[in-house]
Structure 1
Amino acid sequence: MRGEHGPLVDTTLLFVISFAGLAIITFPYVVPGQLTIAAAAWDSTTLTFMLFGIGIVFQVMIGYNLYQYHLFRGTVVPVKH
């Protein structure tokens, strides 16, 4: 059903999510006027641990995706209309 409308829907969703991100940056209060996102965050040691953990997992994900692209290169055949 998505067919030709898929890229339009995906682009619209990307725009809405990006706009929501800008709104969160502009208005950083979780509880308006009382609690900011930074104040609601965990302590610095936990955030540091998570930063290193995400740094390792992110590299594994990128490596796996590169491996997939290398493994399946040239196997895609374009559909002719």
Structure 2
Amino acid sequence: MKALVMRGPGQFGVEEVPKPVCGDREVLVQVQAVAICGSDPVLLAGGILSDGLPGSLPHIAGHEGAGIIVLHLSILPPCDRRPSGPLLP
């Protein structure tokens, strides 16, 4: 899958990354749309947010999106369309 990966201040790009594995109470979402959050420019410029993000590098950016559930273990039906909350990857 593709993700926006931050490797350092001002050093970021779209890269191929491994597909995540679903846990018991998690879903895998095929992202259909994304938005830029107010924290994204700060992170990509090399800033540190009040909650300590980005933590360690490399960091996969983005947490404002919506998509289609493609894999789940027990929570929601597949193909259900849901927005994501303001969660971090």
TM superposition score normalised by structure 2: 0.18
TM superposition score normalised by structure 1: 0.18
Higher strand share: 2
Which gives a bigger RCO, structure 1 or 2 (Cα 8 Å, sep 6+)? 2
Higher helix share: 1
Q: Which has the larger radius of gyration?
A: 1
